[in-house]
Structure 1
Amino acid sequence: MATSSSLNSFPRHRVALASIAMVAGGLPLLVNAQSASSPALPSVVVKGASQAAVTVGGFGDTPLAKLPLQASVVSAEQLTDRGLSSLAGLTLLDAGVGDAYNSAGYVSYLKIRGYDLDNRFNYRRDGLPINAETALPLANKSSIEVLKGTSGIQAGTSAPGGLVNLVVKRPTTELTSVTLGVSERGTLESAMDWSRRFSDGHGNDKAFGLRVNVAGAKLRPELRDADGNRWMMAVAGDWRVTRDTLVEAEVEISRQSQPSQPGFSLLGNQLPDAKSIDPRTNLNNQSWSQPVVFEGRTASLRVQHQLNADWKLQAHAAIQRLVNDDRLAYPFGCTASDGTYYPSTYCPDGTFDQYDFRSDNERRHSDALDLSAQGKLSFAGIRHELTTGVLFSRYKSRLQGQAYNWAGTGNIWGTLPTVADPTLGSTNTNRTERSTEFYLRDAMQFSERWQGWLGLRHTRLDRDSVLVNVQPGGDDAATSYRQSVTTPWLGVSYAIDPQLLAYASWGEGVESAVVPNLPVYVNAGRALPALRSKQWEVGLKSGSRTVDWSINYFDIRKPATRDLALVVNGEDRLESRVDGRQNHRGVEAQADLKWTGGGLMGSAMKLRARRDGSTDATLNGLKPTNVPETVIKLQARQTVWQPGLELQAGVVYEGKRMVLPDNSLSIPSWTRLDLGARYEQSIGRQLLIWRVGVDNVTDRRAWRESPYQYSHVYLYPLANRTWRASVEWIL
């Protein structure tokens, strides 16, 4: 099967590569034809990332290079150059960010520093909490910020790896940009970005701003049986009421409909050879399979008022309304022909038990209001930059009964039909969660070189849950709990010279874990005790016009959870419980080298992740599943031949990952190479930006990641070689 598939796909790949080469080769000729009448573009000096503030850092306008923490900022231009349209694309750009369970057509799941992020609590939008259990659109985002490490300074409860913050595009000077793109088997994408400023009729010709973003795509990916569509519309406006008062409002609506991709698995106790698996095979290919549908509406209002030269007040509110239809022809475990049951893998012969999973009309509502004051003062000879405030947030999920029914036997080649059973016979969990977070952050300037940093957040939680679709007389497993937690954060930095900073920091975070809502769990949907994590970190950072770099050592510890196998009334069940600790320590290094006509961005992480203190002594000292020890990511760019033509290359290397908790199996390391080109063509006052690219140029076959969830092994392959091309017209 693998050989036949490779032979059938080779001519198409060769044609795609040849087409891209012709487009790239023809660009210089096209520009030469225009050069006689079109002036050359003026040179542009790009300010280094070291001078950029990072909202998710929590210390206002302090440049990233001056903060005693690690964060990265990915611009909209970087995403466009790499052809990335989902958060999962961050795994190609930053060594500290990895795959946690990234399935095509589904929610993006990330890990930072080896810890899985919680999609309910680890995501922000312009600094306010949002729910990421959806397909978040990126077309109206100016950048994505990634905070690395324990996030108690910015979040009342969250997983300890870090935070992801989406920064919304706001009105700017006059701009009109239209983009058209094509990729894969015929995926078509289009987008428009339009911005203007208007007069208020009283002499201020820049008082009002408006920005509109519209994007849509007809999806035809290389992955078979996964065609779909998505669209997004967003409007952002602002009003400069006075010189000191700014009002900003924005609204976004989006929809994505696409079948998702189940993972492969072990065949019995054997790891299948990735070269024998066609990565385009979608195990969700039954005639009754339905797409996953994500609908989202988000709106926010922010008012900022400058009291005086030193103090600013801000009120920022947001609402988010999500509706999901989650559906899948779901492979899970296997009952062999001899009666042997494999609960964690597929059968040795490549077959598996397939289930009809449906959870329609999932409604998740999030509301947030942040009231804050930011300013400067001097006390006892120390200059303070203070931020203090309170964040009120509320999250509510309202679900209905779900289907989780045996549909028959499938196989890894997708050739066996199964029978739908959409009966809504399983329970689901409704949740209501409220929190009030009081916070204080203080950047203290002790001297010209020494600076201290303090963060303190006190959080009051109020959470309730109840099972729905419970049979008459059954237990609705209602829970209600209240918690108050305080998460401190401390840092100190020393400016060795104006461009070189040494720092050390320590902080705590709190994770509020809930047992997965699956029938296999005896405590499904119930809250576990709060998990308090601790981190310390030391590092060096430097920023200049030619190079930004940093290197740091971190150590994060948190309580671990484990699924304990049980037999209840003769059935195999699981119980999720806190058991032992998980410790991740490692070295990170990042560098952004900039030179005339090009640059190189690189990051690397060496991670030692271990477990200890478990009641199962055989697990102590072992590595967690799906966490690579070594990661290297590079992005190079260079102008060649003539101004405006830039060649690009991206390299990702990830070391082996453990597949099973007992570390008896691992997936090998892999390397992926991506190539691209970008050409800027000036036509009068207008600009065309042509982009072409080929991802996974060598068509490398490997297992990309190995999530272990619900005591089941999943394997996701690297996507096969794909191509993309687009043109952006800036008027």
Structure 2
Amino acid sequence: MATTLTRLFCLSPLAAASLAAAQSTTVLEPVTVQGRTDTATAEIAGFGDTPLARSPLQARVFGEATLKDAGATLLRELTRLDASVSDAYNAEGYWDQLTVRGFVIDNRYNYRRDGLPINAETSLPLDNKARVELLKGTSGMQAGTSAPGGLVNLVVKRPEGEVRSASLELRGRGSVLGAVDLAARFGAEGAFGIRLNAAAAHIDPELRNAKGERHLLALAGDWRLSEGSLLEAEFETSRRSQPSQPGFSLLGDRVPDARGVDPRINLNNQAWSLPVVLDAQTASLRWTQRLGNDWRARLHIATQHLESDDRVAFPFGCFDAASNVYYADRYCPDGSFDLYDFRSDNERRRTDVADFSVQGRLATGGIEHALTTGVQQSRFKARFQPQAFNFAGTGNVAGTAVTPPAPDATSDNTHRSERSTEFYLRDALRLTERTGLWLGLRHTRLQRERISTSGSDAVDYASSFTTPWVAASYAPTPGGLLYASWGQGIESEVTPNLPIYRNAGEAFTLKSRQTELGFKHESDTLGVGLAVFDIERPASSDDCDATRTNCLRRIDGVAHHRGLEANGQARWGAWSLGASAMWLKARREDSASASLEGQRPPNVPARTLRVNAGHQFTSSLSAFAALTAESNRTVLPDNAALRIPGWARLDLGARFEQRAGASTLTWRAGLDNATDRRAWREAPYQFGHAYLYPLAPRTWRVSLTADL
């Protein structure tokens, strides 16, 4: 497969010199290049209205039309749109999880909604989102604590103008999605605005035993009190109920051939299997006040309430009677495994955030400044019930075994509480017409508490830290930008409250750092970009005895990720081409364990490629093809020899716009995995166990959107 990828890279002339993701900030159709993007911005970048094309960082913006053309209803679909993003335990029916630049971004700390932190241990619907923003790289300037790799920001649709839209989508075996999007302004000079989004879906994927449903209702409104004063409010409630999908695994010491595995088999197919239920309510209030021609103040508060029932028939390890061997991190050679009844009902998570900021421009000594300063306070509380994780019997990879339930909730869970205060300052200095200096600083004061549901093993600790960021930029031409940046990020890790750990409850601070060099250039018909990055983060590991009943969690070396990103877009006549590629060398370094030293982390491909090619046949009809290709991934943290092969997948699509009186009808059709490729899509190493997830089989989709 490595040879195949090499050929693909050579056949894609733009893959090695493509547009920096930070420039793709307007609605980027998979078929059409939208022209210059040097006026577009993204909130996740942290520099206000400074265009991304002129900012010394890598970011990407996926607009609503782009997501619809790709058939994306889940965040995991970003893995098809940018080469820096790949899967990280993306099981059907469960939370979306992403890897960016080889690091799994944390669902608790790396996600934002309109710039404020949210918890992503839930389903995040896209029906009422105007765009999704992706920041690539260490994010200590934008977040108090977060995993290195990047941040994801969801931007809510607001009532900016009149909208009357309805859509219907059919997909695969029988999935149906209906949605409406309505917006209007009223009152004197349109002082009041309101926008309603509603969606309901019956979910019936190609995966068997995974039928479910979801719905969303969202309302956003604003009041333009005066020319310089704006009050905005919004509320969203959603629910998703669907059985989830356990992974396949190694069979003894071998990686099974994916061509011999039916990707429609769901190992969560017991009669007692229950759906994962994810309920979410989110609300926010934002007040923006202009203080003068160049200054504004903003107060933004939000609350998020999550309720979850997490249930699955969960395969985990096995005992092979033939060889008298217990496989703790894989399945037995004959395809059997131990099956557990896992149930964690009534999980409740709440996040409350308040952010006050002042932003503006000033000049000192001939140097222009674009300043942002503010303070953010947040509270997080997670409350759980005792959970079940009980042996239920023996399953098999054919999905034919039948076991009895074992639902008794006899295992402890862990309550979590957190409070933080963050002070931040960012300054974009324009030194000359072509030269800029960029500074960012964030100081965080953090208090965390943990205690088991039985009231034992309490942990309470406080910490404070400062995360700096600095960059310099030079514009050699009106459309070009050279830059260099350096920054730090922070994560806090606590040894689990389990009796197997000698240091249960001990807290660690993991400080990451990133250095990045980049180049961007853009014209009306061609955009190219290149970024070289180097990220280091301390790595933790467990030092255990043979029985795994006596362990010590400790810092053990560093995770060192070095890579090259290239992306771009071009248009000539009716043709358009967009491409992105990443070459990544990710290694474990300075480990005390000889088996870990120098190893590539599991589930991280060394090379990725995304190519979108399109043709505009008429002003109304366009078609496109999208190629997703990845090199092999290792399966275990201490054995690079066991790998899943690389793979390539082809998606096809078309869009037709039709006028019907005063209305516009947009027809979309798509064929995902058009060649019905059989391969292991990813190999996540989770909970000390190796899992394998197959590519979804060939799936068709059609949709109709009516804009009235």
**TM score, norm. by length of structure 1:** 0.90
- State which of 334, 353, 359 in structure 2 corresponds to 1:374: 359
Q: Mark the CA change 1:385 to 1:287 in structure 2 (over 3 Å): closer, same or farther.
A: same
- Equivalent position of 1:283 in the other structure: 267
1:501 is aligned to 2:486:
no
1:462-510 alpha-carbon deviations (Å, 9 max, x no partner):
000001136xxxxx11101100010000000001111000000000000
3-state SS in 2 of match to 1:88? helix
Alpha carbons 1:520, 1:574 under 8 Å: kept: no
Q: Which moved more, 1:530-539 or 1:329-338?
A: 329-338
- Equivalent position of 2:25 in the other structure: none
Give me the whole-angstrom Cα distance separating, in 1, the residues matched to 2:628 and 2:494. Answer: 33
Give me the whole-angstrom Cα distance separating, in 2, the residues matched to 1:540 and 1:651. Answer: 25
- State which of 616, 628, 636 in structure 2 corresponds to 1:660: 636
- State which of 318, 322, 329 in structure 1 corresponds to 2:306: 322
1:294 is aligned to 2:278:
yes
1:485 is aligned to 2:465:
yes
Query: Partner amino acid for 1:562?
Result: S
- Equivalent position of 2:8 in the other structure: none
- State which of 206, 219, 223 in structure 2 corresponds to 1:222: 206
- The Cα of 1:573 is off from its aligned counterpart by 6.3
3-state SS in 2 of match to 1:65? helix
Alpha carbons 1:358, 1:403 under 8 Å: kept: yes
Point out 4+ residue stretches in structure 1 off by more than 6 angstroms: none
1:627 is aligned to 2:627:
no
- The Cα of 1:67 is off from its aligned counterpart by 0.5
1:604 is aligned to 2:545:
no
Give me the whole-angstrom Cα distance separating, in 2, the residues matched to 1:136 and 1:543. Answer: 33
Q: Which runs of 5+ in 2 are unaligned?
A: 1-31
Give me the whole-angstrom Cα distance separating, in 2, the residues matched to 1:398 and 1:665. Answer: 39
Give me the whole-angstrom Cα distance separating, in 1, the residues matched to 2:444 and 2:393. Answer: 48
Alpha carbons 2:33, 2:576 under 8 Å: kept: no
1:304 is aligned to 2:288:
yes
- The Cα of 1:542 is off from its aligned counterpart by 1.6
Q: Mark the CA change 1:695 to 1:515 in structure 2 (over 3 Å): closer, same or farther.
A: farther
1:688 is aligned to 2:665:
yes
Alpha carbons 1:429, 1:525 under 8 Å: kept: no
Query: Partner amino acid for 2:390?
Result: N
Alpha carbons 1:566, 1:575 under 8 Å: kept: no
Give me the whole-angstrom Cα distance separating, in 2, the residues matched to 1:420 and 1:49. Answer: 56
- State which of 262, 272, 279 in structure 1 corresponds to 2:256: 272
Give me the whole-angstrom Cα distance separating, in 2, the residues matched to 1:547 and 1:421. Answer: 60
Q: Mark the CA change 1:98 to 1:50 in structure 2 (over 3 Å): closer, same or farther.
A: farther
- The Cα of 1:603 is off from its aligned counterpart by 0.5
> Where do residues 516-665 of structure 1 align in structure 2 (5 Å cutoff)?
522=501, 526=505, 528-567=507-546, 572=549, 575-640=552-617, 642-661=618-637, 662-665=639-642
Alpha carbons 2:179, 2:200 under 8 Å: kept: yes
Q: Which runs of 5+ in 1 are unaligned?
A: 1-43, 471-475
Alpha carbons 1:429, 1:466 under 8 Å: kept: yes
1:220-279 alpha-carbon deviations (Å, 9 max, x no partner):
100000000000000000110000000010000000000000010000111100001000
- The Cα of 1:150 is off from its aligned counterpart by 0.3
Q: Mark the CA change 1:280 to 1:573 in structure 2 (over 3 Å): closer, same or farther.
A: farther
Give me the whole-angstrom Cα distance separating, in 2, the residues matched to 1:277 and 1:445. Answer: 58
> Where do residues 29-178 of structure 1 align in structure 2 (5 Å cutoff)?
46-178=34-166
- The Cα of 1:121 is off from its aligned counterpart by 0.3
Alpha carbons 1:465, 1:478 under 8 Å: kept: yes
Give me the whole-angstrom Cα distance separating, in 2, the residues matched to 1:401 and 1:365. Answer: 19
Give me the whole-angstrom Cα distance separating, in 1, the residues matched to 2:163 and 2:548. Answer: 62
Q: Mark the CA change 1:121 to 1:605 in structure 2 (over 3 Å): closer, same or farther.
A: same
1:620-639 alpha-carbon deviations (Å, 9 max, x no partner):
11111110000000122211
1:405-459 alpha-carbon deviations (Å, 9 max, x no partner):
0000000011001111111111111011010000000000100010000000000
- Equivalent position of 2:20 in the other structure: none
1:383 is aligned to 2:368:
yes
Give me the whole-angstrom Cα distance separating, in 2, the residues matched to 1:516 and 1:67. Answer: 40
Q: How many residues align?
A: 675
- Equivalent position of 2:438 in the other structure: 453
Query: Partner amino acid for 1:76?
Result: E
Give me the whole-angstrom Cα distance separating, in 2, the residues matched to 1:456 and 1:587. Answer: 26
- The Cα of 1:596 is off from its aligned counterpart by 4.5
Query: Partner amino acid for 1:497?
Result: T
- Equivalent position of 2:18 in the other structure: none
Give me the whole-angstrom Cα distance separating, in 1, the residues matched to 2:688 and 2:636. Answer: 9
Query: Partner amino acid for 2:195?
Result: R
Query: Partner amino acid for 1:643?
Result: S
Q: Mark the CA change 1:563 to 1:571 in structure 2 (over 3 Å): closer, same or farther.
A: closer
Q: Which moved more, 1:627-636 or 1:333-342?
A: 333-342
- The Cα of 1:571 is off from its aligned counterpart by 6.1
Alpha carbons 1:400, 1:469 under 8 Å: kept: no
Give me the whole-angstrom Cα distance separating, in 2, the residues matched to 1:95 and 1:697. Answer: 20
Give me the whole-angstrom Cα distance separating, in 2, the residues matched to 1:371 and 1:521. Answer: 44
1:536-587 alpha-carbon deviations (Å, 9 max, x no partner):
00010122322232101000000012233335xx665655432110100010
- State which of 420, 425, 429 in structure 1 corresponds to 2:414: 429
Alpha carbons 1:521, 1:576 under 8 Å: kept: no
Give me the whole-angstrom Cα distance separating, in 2, the residues matched to 1:719 and 1:545. Answer: 37
- The Cα of 1:391 is off from its aligned counterpart by 0.5
Query: Partner amino acid for 1:634?
Result: V
3-state SS in 2 of match to 1:89? helix
Give me the whole-angstrom Cα distance separating, in 2, the residues matched to 1:525 and 1:113. Answer: 31
1:675 is aligned to 2:672:
no
3-state SS in 2 of match to 1:106? coil
Q: Which moved more, 1:669-678 or 1:546-555?
A: 546-555
Alpha carbons 1:129, 1:368 under 8 Å: kept: yes
1:468 is aligned to 2:462:
no
Give me the whole-angstrom Cα distance separating, in 2, the residues matched to 1:240 and 1:596. Answer: 43
- Equivalent position of 1:11 in the other structure: none
Q: Which moved more, 1:536-545 or 1:596-605?
A: 596-605
Alpha carbons 1:563, 1:711 under 8 Å: kept: no
- The Cα of 1:48 is off from its aligned counterpart by 3.3
- Equivalent position of 1:12 in the other structure: none
- The Cα of 1:592 is off from its aligned counterpart by 2.0
Query: Partner amino acid for 1:667?
Result: I
Alpha carbons 2:494, 2:508 under 8 Å: kept: no
Percent identical pairs in the alignment equals 53
- Equivalent position of 2:320 in the other structure: 336
Alpha carbons 1:181, 1:190 under 8 Å: kept: yes
Give me the whole-angstrom Cα distance separating, in 2, the residues matched to 1:139 and 1:521. Answer: 44
3-state SS in 2 of match to 1:278? coil
Alpha carbons 2:297, 2:359 under 8 Å: kept: yes
- State which of 375, 378, 383 in structure 2 corresponds to 1:393: 378
Q: Mark the CA change 1:46 to 1:577 in structure 2 (over 3 Å): closer, same or farther.
A: same
Give me the whole-angstrom Cα distance separating, in 1, the residues matched to 2:644 and 2:609. Answer: 17
3-state SS in 2 of match to 1:90? helix
1:359-381 alpha-carbon deviations (Å, 9 max, x no partner):
00000000100000001111122
Query: Partner amino acid for 1:659?
Result: V
Query: Partner amino acid for 1:440?
Result: L
Give me the whole-angstrom Cα distance separating, in 1, the residues matched to 2:503 and 2:121. Answer: 18
- The Cα of 1:524 is off from its aligned counterpart by 9.9
Give me the whole-angstrom Cα distance separating, in 1, the residues matched to 2:373 and 2:198. Answer: 36
3-state SS in 2 of match to 1:454? strand
- The Cα of 1:520 is off from its aligned counterpart by 8.7
